[in-house]
Structure 1
Amino acid sequence: MILYYFRKYWWVVSAAIIALAFVIPYQVVLVLLFTQIIAVNLVSFRIRRYLKPERNVKSLRNLLVLEFKDLLESYGVSCDFPPRGDYSSVDLIADIFGEKTVFSIREGNDEIHNSEVQSLAASLPKHGAKHGVILVDGLLPIEAKRLAESYGLQFKRYQKYKEEVQERLSSNPNVCSVCGRLIDQNQKELCWKNSELLGGKTYCHEHFKEVIDKSKAETT
């Protein structure tokens, strides 16, 4: 994220360097500007590599999409990007607690227009989604917020929603007692059948096996 902001606000750094011309030799200022040009190009190259095509990315508007995707997947939530050729405002599709949700994520002061709100609402049946969420890492435009709510969409600040999702996922009973990852219904039923050995707790497949093997070893 730091690299992304450095590339986006390179002009601020340039202005600061030029201002130094009042206190240091202009030759040093020229060297600093030249160094910054090289640095910005290197950062751009690294970001392009991070967003390489094999990640199945349709077209990321910002790195918050990847950040949010990584967060959800760390709890075992199944996520995916819209397929190529999908020109809607959908940035991410996630299956949370068995309910599919489509997300449109904006960073900083990137505006979200009414047409994008309508596009997200229209994409729900297309992706079989029950919920649509617009996340903005900045100000919430009142007009777009009202329009989103009229379509039954959620319009929230990115950081606040991220905290809400983390709390909801971590407190969910359908998670592994060790790693906190979501478990599906089949795994949950398997835990119920072995509740005596598991002490009434639920575990993902990996930790379920560890606990069962340990219990068997202690009884032999």
Structure 2
Amino acid sequence: MSSNDVSSIITSSFLKGILMGVKILWPLWFLIFATVLIKILFHLWELRRLSKSGIKEIDQMDGLTFEKYLQSLFRNLGYRVERTAYIGDYGADLIVSKDGIRTVIQAKRYSGKVNIKAIQEVVASKAKYHCTEAMVVTNSYFTKPAIELAKANGVKLWDRDKLVNALLSIKKDTGLNDEINEIVVSEEQLADMDDNNVCAICGKRVTEKVKQYCLSNPQRFGGKVYCYEHQKNK
């Protein structure tokens, strides 16, 4: 047998082995391809869903604007809504009522996870505002200790996912987008009225109420103005 014949036999055996391997393993390759495709499609669907909800705009808001956003949201969800004072609110930002149930809400527009302090504050504010329920709403998520404390005290938690679902449930049938645009514009107009309405750290414009809050607490802020995010570090 010549060397050419040997090479031909080896090549033929190799190709047969590959074809047999493909034949045996094609279900596995199909499953891998299908899994990757499903993940890509889900990611695209999630991006479209988040874009429709307006959550990205919420991520850019300051704390006070977020409170006003939630005020409009809960009103469109059928609640009667009261806002607490921005200064000295005892850990409560909104009081909502529906079906005879009065709920105190703390709004947390965070970039990181909401910790246990928010739960402690909203629990303490329940009696102050004569509420039977308590809730914390955030554009972010909660730490594990916060979730455990909320469960132990019957505090309802709306994380980013629940907030998005609530937004999507009403945006088709309401003018929430227009209401929120008016809120944001009015906040910017207030800020433009005074060149001193800027954060001493990042230069971001703040509302008149945020400015007055900082100035009314000179021991904490040293007579300077800080945006909501940088107030937390003072």
TM-score range, shorter chain: 0.3 to 0.5
TM-score relative to the length of structure 2? 0.41
- Structure showing greater radius of gyration is 2
Give the TM-score taking structure 1 as reference length. Answer: 0.44
